[in-house]
Amino acid sequence: MSPAGCSHVNGYKVDNWKQNLRVIYQCFVWSGTAETRRRKAKSCICHMCGAHLNRLHSCLYCVFFGCFTKKHIHEHAKNKRHNLAIDLLYGGIYCFVCQDYIYDKDMEQIAKEEQRKAWKLLSVISVPSHLCFFMSTGIGEKYTTWEPTKRELELLRHNPKRRKITTNCTIGLRGLINLGNTCFMNCIVQALTHTPLLRDFFLSDRHKCEMQSNSCLVCEMSQLFQEFYSGHRSPHIPFRLLHLVWTHARHLAGYEQQDAHEFLIAALDVLHRHCKGDTTHDNGKKANNPNHCNCIIDQIFTGGLQSDVTCQVCHGVSTTIDPFWDISLDLPGSSTPFWPLSPGGDGSTVNGESHLSGSTTLTDCLRRFTRPEHLGSSAKIKCGGCHSYQESTKQLTMKKLPIVACFHLKRFEHSAKLRRKITTYVSFPLELDMTPFMASSKESRMNGQYQQTVDVLNNDNKYSLFAVVNHQGTLESGHYTSFIRQHKDQWFKCDDAIITKASIKDVLDSEGYLLFYHKQFLEYE
């Protein structure tokens, strides 16, 4: 394309071209509603080969979709002399005469306006993986797309070579010095710094501190992310982080060994409280999570747990929804009776987990967690329907899933009679589907409408494992390590200052104490 720009767009700018272009963006590119997304999924297929991938483009002159990769859109352009087409994934406009993507001020303005409209309509559950998460939650109005400054344009002209992240890249991998029984902190820091959306938030400098003193844990985490992704290979010394944790969570102060799970919850709580400057309140609307908070911690980690208490006499149901940052799961071998359900002994597979005879899986633990529980005569509740105290059953299900699901396997048992560690092996999958444990699935089953088939257009309940925290040793004397995922199927073991390559088998064979899963369709690397 010449420096003056593409001259062929002038032939397109006739009659109602602006309205026509807006309709294309609304219906086939920035699909902001469920209806337009369904329409796009059904109608956007190549008119020649029927494929919906291969960089699909739409002709701007007529209703024709064609593959760019297989040059079906090129054939159409040549035969019909329709020189302009739009990329249905990114919205760029291609000129077949110039043989390049073009820039036109008027078209770009329409694209931006329609994209912003779509961002307003999008909720978290409908974001395509290639779009920035922060746009999907309404923050797109607060944080607009990045455009280079004059200084940045100058730098780009002098440095045109693009740097690529290769699969063997070690940026983001950095050991942490143990400051005296601080492995419990180090393993959680490794998990947090490799949480995809949290990483993208901090590396895009989105934190706006409103604290008066130099004691903001979010500022320290932001600095920590900069240190991790700076490319330095020497182990980092997290002394300021430790000091701030001692300051804001005094029960964790001192050089005694602490519980990694307890540290995780305390850290999320302090980060949540220190994120006040990062919240948004667009048009007074509440945030889309049970904490009704728009801080990055609640957007990523907060889910909604539904509790249904059913009266055994009138079958009236009382429902409450509570926020959660993690799910604590009982294990076989504890003093709490375990539900030995399932496909455990028949060699079947659920959620990609292989069931060996007598073994327990994460799915088993989740089934037990969401099973109906009879509360008994000693825990009668006052029924709103019967107006008297009655026996009841209680069932927990997931009303709203968080972006990051953290599962805490309760390996440390503390009671009046004993204190011990439960070493029962629990197998867990690389990919997890939470659909069976949703409140909506329970309601569908009760109505006789539940089907096991999964809607291919809605993968919102599917997760990928990205971090595992393990505890070695006894209750009195132990050590924490973690496995973190650097790239797809590429894992590393973090043992304080030492980081070594790990296999997927190493990860899945580990005992497992804290399991971190990330929503699949919101992951991008």
In this predicted model, what pLDDT tens digit does every residue of 361-386 receive, in sequence order?
999 999 999 988 888 777 777 777 78
Pair of tokens at residue 271: 């980060």
What is the distance between the alpha carbons of residues 196 and 83, in angstroms, rounded to a whole number? 40
CB 183 within 8 A of CB 474: no
Tokens describing residue 383: 């029924």
Q: Is the pLDDT of residue 417 over 50?
A: yes
**Residue whose C-alpha is closest to residue 84's, from 97, 70, 72, 75:** 97
Please say if the pLDDT value at position 341 is more than 60.
Answer: no
Contact of 265 with 279, CB cutoff 8 Å? no
Q: What pLDDT does 72 receive?
A: 93
Quick one: pLDDT at residue 102?
87
Residue 57: pLDDT band with limits 50, 70, 90: very high
- Tell me the pLDDT tens digit for each residue of 178-220: 998 899 999 999 999 999 889 888 888 777 777 767 788 999 9
Closest by Cα among 518, 481, 473 to 188: 481
CB 462 within 8 A of CB 438: no
How far apart are alpha carbons 362 and 349 in whole angstroms? 12
pLDDT for 130 equals: 39
CB contact at 8 A, 207 and 305? no
Which residue spans of the chain are classified as CATH 3.30.40.10?
7-123
Question: Is 416's pLDDT higher than 70?
Answer: no
Which long-range contacts does 17-25 make (Cβ < 8 Å, 24+ apart)?
18/106, 18/110, 20/60, 21/60, 21/107, 21/110, 22/110, 22/113, 22/114, 24/58, 24/60, 24/86, 25/86, 25/91, 25/110, 25/111, 25/114, 25/115
- pLDDT-based confidence at 287, cuts 50/70/90? low
- Res. 433: pLDDT tops 90: yes
Task: Quote the pLDDT of residue 3.
Answer: 53
pLDDT score, position 136: 42
Query: Domain 7-123 in CATH: superfamily?
Result: Zinc/RING finger domain, C3HC4 (zinc finger) (3.30.40.10)
Q: Are 194 and 171 in contact (CB under 8 A)?
A: no
What percentage of the chain exceeds 70 in pLDDT? 80
Res 166 pLDDT > 70: no
Report the pLDDT value the prediction gives residue 344, as an integer from 0 to 100.
Answer: 40
Helices (H) and strands (E) in the chain, counts: 15, 25
The pLDDT value recorded for residue 163 is 59
Whether the predicted pLDDT of 144 surpasses 80: no
Q: Which helix (H) or strand (E) holds 242?
A: helix 239-248
Q: Using the 8-state DSSP alphabet, how is residue 382 labeled?
A: E
Other beta carbons less than 10 A from residue 123's beta carbon:
11
Quickly state the pLDDT bin for 409 (edges 50, 70, 90). Answer: very high
Task: Give the mean pLDDT of 25-38.
Answer: 80
Give yes or no: 183 in active site. yes
Is residue 350 scored above 70 in pLDDT?
no
What's residue 297's pLDDT? 92
Residue 439's pLDDT band (cuts 50, 70, 90): confident
Q: Mean pLDDT for the chain?
A: 81
pLDDT band at residue 327 under the 50/70/90 scheme:
very high
DSSP 26: I
Q: Which two tokens stand for residue 468?
A: 């595992």
Amino acid (1-letter code) at residue 115: Q
Average pLDDT over residues 336-356: 50
Q: What is the pLDDT of residue 487?
A: 83
Residue type, 121: L
Tens of pLDDT along 492-518? Answer: 999 999 999 999 999 999 999 999 999
| 3-state SS class at 451 | coil
Instruction: Read off the pLDDT band of 33 (50, 70, 90).
Output: confident
What tens digit of pLDDT does each residue of 83-109 get? 999 998 888 899 999 888 888 888 988
Q: CA 402, CA 125: separation in Å to the nearest integer?
A: 10
Mean pLDDT (whole number) for 272-277: 79
327-329 and 404-409 strand pairing: parallel
User: 288 falls in which pLDDT band (50, 70, 90)?
Assistant: low
Report pLDDT for 454: 44
How sure is the predictor about 447, in pLDDT bands with cuts at 50, 70 and 90? Answer: low
- Give pTM, 2 decimals: 0.66
In whole angstroms, give the CA distance from residue 159 to residue 374: 67
Q: Which of 8, 74, 82, 479 is catalytic?
A: 479
| DSSP notation for 160-200 | -PPP---TT--TT---B---SS-HHHHHHHHHHHT-HHHHH
Question: Rounded to 5 degrees, what are φ and ψ at 62?
Answer: -150, 175
Q: What is the pLDDT of residue 279?
A: 55
pLDDT at residue 138 greater than cutoff 80:
no
Tokens of 41: 């999924």
Length of the chain: 525
| Tens digit of each residue's pLDDT (9 = 90 or more) over 451-504 | 544 444 457 889 999 999 999 988 778 899 999 998 888 999 999 999 999 999
Q: What's residue 263's pLDDT?
A: 93
State how beta strands 498-502 and 514-519 pair. Answer: unpaired
34 confidence band (pLDDT: 50, 70, 90): confident
pLDDT band at 281 (very low <50, low <70, confident <90, very high): very low
From 27, 95, 183, 365, the catalytic residue = 183
Contact status, residue 4 vs residue 16, Cβ threshold 8 Å: no
- Which of 208-212, 309-313, 431-435 is predicted with the least confidence, judged by mean pLDDT? 208-212
